[in-house]
Amino acid sequence: MLLRLPLPRLEALLTPKRMPSSTQPARVPQIVRYVDGVLQLGRPWLRSGCLSRGLTLYYFLRNAGLDVALCFGVGTLHGECVGHCWLVKAGEPFLEARDPRPFFTAVYTFPAGAPVIAAVRPIDEGRAQDR
């Protein structure tokens, strides 16, 4: 149900009103394992794509005091318009196997106004086809 809400409403629900006073970076690997495990075990009832994973990790990591943002982007892959979301920490993609910025243009970010550094090099169609 959450995935059907408008992004500003979703942001309001998932972003803590105040960041916790203490950061728990040691919990990050545990949070990631739990989220990935639940998404995998929940198939086919739970969607395991970037949106479910990104929103869930954003919520739990922010509540653990980690200053992360969630970036939503669009791009063209194999001639079709596609979307992707990814976590950003200190202006760089976080917990991504591959930097999504050459493939996707950021269009919205949680929390609003979070800095997202664009990729420094454009991607050519040949490399985009490999994604």
Q: What is the residue range of 41's domain?
A: 2-13+28-130
Residues 6+ apart with CB under 8 A from 40: 48
Per-residue pLDDT of the chain (131 residues; tens, 9 = 90+): 666 788 888 888 888 888 777 877 788 999 999 999 998 887 777 767 888 899 999 999 999 999 999 999 999 888 899 999 999 998 899 999 999 998 899 998 988 767 666 654 444 444 444 44
Q: pTM for the full model? A: 0.80
Look at residue 21 and tell me if it is in a domain.
Answer: no
The domain total for the chain is 1
Residues 80-116, buried b or exposed e (16+ Cβ, 10 A)?
eeeebbbbbeeeebbbeeeebbbbbebeebbbeeeeb
Per-residue model confidence (pLDDT) at position 1: 63
Would you tell me how many other CB atoms lie within 10 Å of the CB of residue 9?
Answer: 10
- Asked whether residue 18 is domain-assigned, the answer is no
- Give the pLDDT of residue 126: 46
Tell me which amino acid residue 112 is. A
Q: Would you say residue 20 lies in a domain?
A: no
pLDDT computed for residue 116 by the predictor: 67
